[in-house]
Every structure is written in C-alpha cells, then in structure tokens.
Amino acid sequence: MLTKMKWFQLSPPQILVMGFAAIILIGTFLLMLPISNTTGRPLNFIDALFTSTSATCVTGLVVKDTGTFFSTFGQVVIIVLIQVGGLGFMTMATLFALAFKRKISLRDRLLLQEAMNQGSMEGIVRLIRKVLFYSLAIESCGAILLAFRWSFDMPIGRAIYYGIFHGISMFNNAGFDLFGHFNSLTGYVYDPLVNFVVMFLIASGGIGFIVMSDLVDFRKKRRLSLHTKVVLSMTGALIIIGAIVIFIFEFTNPKTLGSLNWGGKILASFFQSVSPRTAGANTIDLGAMRQASQFFIVILMFIGASPGSTGGGIKTTTFTIMIGAVIAMIRGKEDIVLYRYRLPQERIFKALTITFLALLLVVGVSMVLSTTEDSSFLMILYETTSAFGTVGLTMGLTTHLTVIGKILISLTMFAGRLGPLTLGYALGPKKGKELYRHPEGKIIIG
C-alpha cells in the first residue's frame, strides 16, 4: 500500500522517465543473453545497455552490427524495443488496456497527455487509438513495399522479415538496419522504390501523430490547425533547403555525389536531407562528406522532427518560434505572428528554454567527449548531436567509443528521447505558483 501511495505521488514526467529506464534495463538484460547474438557468448553490460538505449530511444547508433552480430532473437528484441520506444510505453500500455476493456483512469490520461506533449486531456484516448491505427497501417504498407522490392534480391521469407524490420525501424525513425557491416542503405542509392518508401516512412513518422490526425480529418473539417500548418511548412522547407545545400556542397565530391549520375545525385541529396530528421539511415558515405555538409547535417539533426512524433531534436515548432522571435525583434514587433495567429508568451519562453537546455547538453557532452575520445571535434559534435536528436547517423565514431563515451552517449540518447524539459521537470523539485511578482528591472542588451 505504501509503495502504491509513493507511485501515485510521482509526477507524470517522473513516471515517464522511470518507465523508459525500466524498458531499457529489461532490453539490456535480454540482449546480454547468449541467445541474442551469433557468438553464443554473453554480451557485456555496457554494449547491451548502449544497444538497448539506442533502440528504446529510437536512435540507431550501434556498437555492434545489427545484421551480423545479433541473432534473430536479438533482432526481434531490438525491433520490439524500437516499437515500444517509438510509440511510447504509455501508448503501448493503453493498447493493452483497451484490448482488455479496462477503463483509462484520470492519472493514465495525465500520463498520456505528458507523453504525447498535448496541452489538454481532451480527446487523448481517441488520439491514442488513431496513433496505433496510423502506425500499424503505415508500417504495414512500408513493410509490404520493401518486402516486394527485396524479394528480387533474397529469398521471399527473408525479404518479408527484412520488410517488417525496416518498416518498423524507419517509421519510428530508429535507423537500425540488417544489411550488415554498418553499410545502411548504401547499396540502394539508385533504387527509387527503396528511397521513396523509406523517405515516406521517415517523414510520416517525423511529422507527428497530431498532424496525421489533422490531415486525415481535413475532408470533414476543411481546415488545418496552426500546429499542422507550422509543422508541414517547416518540414517541407527544411527538406528542400537541406537537399539543395547537400547537392551544392557534395556535387563535385567523388566520394559521395560526384561519382553518381544526375538522378542519383538528386535522389541521394533528398535522402540525406530527410534522414537527419532523426532517422539515421544513409545511402552515401557520411564520413566522406565535406566538413561544410557534415556541419549542416549537425544543424538539421539538432532541429529534429516534430512534437508528438517518433523523432527527437528541439522540434520543428520550437525552431519556427525561435525564427519568429528573431524576425519580430528585427521588425520591432512585440508579438510573434504565424498564419495570422499571435503566439502566447508562455510558448516563446518554453521554446527558448528547450533550445538553451539542448545547446547546453550537446555542448557539455561534446566538451567531455573531446577529452575522452581520440577524434576530431566535428566528429564528436556530430555523434553527440546525433544522440541528442535520436538520429543515429555517425561518421564512424560509435564503434570506437570508450566506456565513458558509451555511457555519455547513452545518457544523451535518453535525454534526447524524453526531452530536456521533461527531464528537468522530473528531476527538479515541484514548486507551487508564486503569490507575488518582483518589481520590473531593466538591463542593457546588445
């Protein structure tokens, strides 16, 4: 009874943190079993923890090659962790509750509200039903199309297995693949079907379930919410700008786009622009890209996907608000106006807080890793940002990380999946609203 009372005293952010931590630990012990890998020997705790964290936090950074090191059992454990981590453990718990016709309590709804980053509990269970339906439908379509394509390259049973694995992995923006030797999808750089299906899975998983629901209901409502308009416009802008920048910087690089024909160059540019939206797949050698392109990808990874999605980063809406604040200040305006809607000050402060905490985390971890790892600072920054944005792209540092480096990157993936603000709420003391306001003061800025 006392334990139950203590559980009820925990805040929703604290329960989310503990829930994800519990899933990671369960995954760690399963991956440590000899049956989980092809060597028949137990995997050491740190590598198992790193892999479990990467899968649960839908990142894709790996210290052991998924396709060659892990057995079928280990791969199934990884894909289950990806599915649970991508949709959120509270969403999965709600699925079982709905299946067994259990009533969703007020506390469950509060947890779901926090997990889905919603402003209110209104319609939260209905949203969860849509999330589960959309996820299953999109993953199934992706799996069927990929299985059909790969059936020409491998036995049909293996093609179906690969289709299911990659359908789940790419929709959840995890980036895990089974092609072995850390090659990702480089063998399919010219393949339009694989490229377009994977890009669609990444983009649909990254825009968020709220946007999906809004788009499906567009026929009835005949209008889109402000959130959906901002997410779609910023997502589209980042993909197009990203493809153009990568195309320009890498056009003459013989190790990346330079050796491809025009169709391959355009396809690879768009794929490499979509992937940093927290997916982690690649069709060209990222380590061979020019430094300008690599740093640009760091920026894309830091921005990440959209709220209520399977992706990480500071989110497209946060980035939009920050840009809006800069434009408003330059124009001498007091309000940030998007699509004729004025944003409340609380949203602006939240965006500023998330961005600052994320920068603090990435910079802090990068500084520590620069003393523990024998690599260039850009490679370390790339790895750290990839972990925070739960992207999974790497320039080759992951497999060479020290024990301290693996622990730091694991913690960064964990913080990136939950969000620095959620972690702050979970770890910080709960304070009531202040009953007074201090007098206004002025300081000189600029």
Provide the residue range defining the domain that includes 144. 14-423
Give yes or no for a contact between 178 and 165, defined as CB atoms under 8 angstroms apart. Answer: yes
Please report the pLDDT score of residue 345 as a whole number.
87
- Which residues have CB under 8 Å from 403's CB, separation 6+? 46
Q: pLDDT per residue over 35-74, tens digit each?
A: 999 998 999 999 999 999 999 988 889 999 999 999 999 9
Residue 332 lies in a domain: yes
Q: Is the dihedral of CA 269, 274, 276, 280 positive or negative?
A: negative
Residue 259 lies in a domain: yes
- Number of CB atoms found within 10 A of residue 76's CB: 15
Nearest CA to 108 out of 210, 7, 227, 199 is that of 7
Residue 152 lies in a domain: yes
Buried b (16+ CB within 10 A) or exposed e, 54-63: bbbbbbbbbb
Q: Decide if pLDDT at 1 tops 50.
A: no
Return mean pLDDT, the chain: 85
Higher per-residue confidence, 422 vs 122: 422
Q: pLDDT per residue over 385-435, tens digit each?
A: 999 998 989 998 999 999 999 999 999 999 888 776 666 655 555 555 566
Q: Decide if pLDDT at 14 tops 80.
A: no
Split at pLDDT 50, 70, 90, the class of 362 is very high
Residue 289 lies in a domain: yes
Q: What is the DSSP letter of 186?
A: G
Residue 437 lies in a domain: no
Q: pLDDT per residue over 188-214, tens digit each?
A: 999 999 999 999 999 998 888 788 888
Residue 91 lies in a domain: yes
Q: pLDDT per residue over 220-244, tens digit each?
A: 888 888 889 999 999 999 999 999 9
Residue 2 lies in a domain: no
Q: pLDDT per residue over 344-359, tens digit each?
A: 888 888 889 889 999 9
> Which of 2-16, 77-91, 197-211, 364-378 is most confident?
364-378
Share of the chain above pLDDT 90, in %: 53
Helix (DSSP H) and strand (DSSP E) numbers for the chain:
19, 2
Tell me if residue 338 falls in helix, strand or coil: strand
Residue 428 lies in a domain: no
Distance CA 306, CA 424 (A): 20
Domain count, the chain: 1
